[in-house]
Amino acid sequence: MVMESNIIIGVIALFLTIFGAIWSLAWWLSGQFTKIRNLIYEQIKGLESHFLNKLEYHEKHDDQRFAAISNDLWEIKMANAAMRGLFTEDKMIKNKKEI
């Protein structure tokens, strides 16, 4: 009877030891995953803000470049019109007198 109780106590102690070891490793591993997940989220937020800053910078400069191109195109159109005499004041005055 004593021998059987010692075996049962030994098996229970072994089971509790294994269970405790597995539980503590699982708890430690869960903490590691949490740290890694938080690190990944921080890095993603940092990249997001970096990309948004870059996009905003490029959009602002693209707007300036497109405005400059638009102004340049308008100046070319005006120069062409002036060379061809399409919109000069003299012709506008003559057209008004004819009407």
Is the pLDDT assigned to residue 99 strictly greater than 70?
Answer: no
Phi, psi of 35 (to 5 degrees): -65, -45
Is the pLDDT assigned to residue 4 strictly greater than 80?
Answer: yes
Residue 86: what pLDDT? 61
Q: Which residue has the higher pLDDT, 81 or 10?
A: 10
Element (H, E) at 77: helix 2-84
Is the pLDDT assigned to residue 97 strictly greater than 60?
Answer: no
- 78 closest CA partner among 42, 70, 18, 91: 70
Q: pTM for this one? A: 0.48
SS3 87: coil
What count of residues does the chain have? 99
Q: What is the pLDDT of residues 23-76, one digit of tens each?
A: 999 999 999 999 999 999 999 999 999 999 998 888 888 777 887 788 788 888
| Residue 85, Ramachandran bin (φ over 0: left; ψ between -120 and 50: alpha; else beta) | left
Domain limits for position 72: 2-98
